Structure 1
Amino acid sequence: MKQAFIYTDDKSQKFWIIDSASSDIMVNFGKLGTAGRFQITEYDDEAECQKAADKLIAQKTKKGYKPAPDFNFIDRLYFDVEDYGPHRKTSHPHFVQYLTDDLYYDCGDEEVPFGSDEGSDTLYELAQAFRKNNNLDTLTFPQKMICEYWGMDYLPPQADQTAESIEELCKHQEIEVYQSDKVIIATAFGSIKITGRLKPELQQLALLAIQRLDILAQLRGWCTEDGLSEISRQMIDDLRRFAIEAKGFSN
């Protein structure tokens, strides 16, 4: 149901994209070569939604927009609409394809990538950074987020971490450990959500961050599960699957 249209004249080259699947419409528009603006409108049912979509398409074609069946939906950035938060229609196609669970659009569960305050803030700031720089270095972004934006210490997880080493580190810097892990995880999933790509080094760092948070939760009695939680296992499995099945999308 996603369709792209192009308008060109002597003064401008513009695109207009519409995705009217289900009962809401997403439109993305702007100058060719940019991410453009995203808007979402909800309708009572699919029939009303499709009627509205047909009307919008008719209006655009009347203005001179032409269908672009070969439009490149992959090599571009995707940004959420602020009033709606994480949404499938404002996510990169690779994110929608490989990370299918609803937890990736959840804004209320502290354990999911964008559900905590740290995760939500990270996704927002990551999007702003990508709008300014298409070639943003996502591997160094967590440190910038924590040190420059928040003025706190960045404590990334280590490959040789143990329950004992994590306990020792958390005696004096538990908040920094927690925030570092949350920001790393949100940056990894946010990178896929916005760009459809994930640096292998960031993927490995995110896996370690998920594991460290689970160990910390067990040490503090925040959970009763023995080993990784169900959500943590899901995130780890999806990150690993993305790395294997989407090899061409790592950068």
Structure 2
Amino acid sequence: MTEHDPFNEPESAHSRARELMREPLFWDCVDEAAPFGSDEGHDAYYEWRDWRSRNPDAPLTDCFDWILDGDLYAYNETLASAAQVEADLANPDEALFSDLFDMFTLDTTIIATGLGQLMDEGKIDKDAKPFIHVAIKRQRNPKAGHYDEMTLDAIARVVEES
């Protein structure tokens, strides 16, 4: 995989990513409210690149499974329900995956990893999209959300169109 810096040199990102990721927020690596602006999102992108260099032919879901320590299918719509999000926020130490990440870090990592595949390869694997949608839905919860609605709408649009 060739080295590039899509944040300072967007032209080095895949042309399909540049086409879909029209909003400046996608290229902002310092705004905490942007997918790659937090430390979590920025680190997730570079972890994705490192993982991809070791797993060049693997599907994105394998990367998600690696992130989730082998428990990919537990990261599902149930986790995104309002009741579950509120329960996880009320008792963060008892939340699923709390031994790995807090809710924001986990959701941001899933989102940034999916968008990272788009930046590097011009696509997001179809089988990975439901997991990104779980992250978006969890972040739409007003009690958990770190991102504003405009940002989440832009991310959802990009995921659907990729």
Residue 160 of structure 2 is matched in structure 1 by: 240
1:87/1:105 contact within 8 Å kept: no
The structure with the largest strand share of the pair is 1
Once superposed, which parts of structure 1, at least 4 consecutive aligned residues long, lie more than 4 Å away? 220-223
Per the normalisation by structure 1, the TM-score is: 0.53
Does the residue aligned with 1:119 lie in a helix, a strand or coil?
helix
Distance 1:100 1:221 in 2: 22
Distance 2:81 2:53 in 1: 38
Residue 196 of structure 1 is matched in structure 2 by: 122
Residue 132 of structure 2 is matched in structure 1 by: 206
Shift of 1:80: 2.3
Does the residue aligned with 2:102 lie in a helix, a strand or coil?
helix
Shift of 1:145: 3.1
Shift of 1:192: 0.6
Identity %: 20
1:142/1:183 contact within 8 Å kept: no
Superposition CA RMSD, Å: 2.8
Residue 108 of structure 2 is matched in structure 1 by: 182
Larger radius of gyration: 1
Shift of 1:164: 1.3
Higher RCO by CA contacts (8 Å cutoff, separation 6 or greater): 2
Residue 82 of structure 2 is matched in structure 1 by: 163
| Aligned 1:6-17 pairs, distance under 5 A | none
Aligned length: 154
Which residues of structure 1 form unaligned runs of 5+? Answer: 1-34, 37-78, 243-251
Shift of 1:159: 5.4
Amino acid in structure 1 at the alignment position of 2:75: P
Tell me the alpha carbon deviations over residues 44-98 of structure 1, each in whole angstroms, 9 at most, x when there is no partner. xxxxxxxxxxxxxxxxxxxxxxxxxxxxxxxxxxx423xx745311101111122
Amino acid in structure 1 at the alignment position of 2:158: D
Distance 1:177 1:213 in 2: 9
Which residues of structure 2 form unaligned runs of 5+? Answer: none
Distance 2:83 2:44 in 1: 29
Which is further off, 173-182 or 154-163?
Answer: 154-163
1:109 corresponds to 2:54: no
Distance 1:197 1:241, change over 3 A: closer
Residue 73 of structure 1 is matched in structure 2 by: none
1:131 corresponds to 2:57: no
1:157/1:209 contact within 8 Å kept: no
Distance 2:149 2:45 in 1: 23
Tell me the alpha carbon deviations over residues 91-132 of structure 1, each in whole angstroms, 9 at most, x when there is no partner. 011111222211111012223221111111111111122223
1:141 corresponds to 2:63: yes
Per the normalisation by structure 2, the TM-score is: 0.79
Distance 1:101 1:121, change over 3 A: same
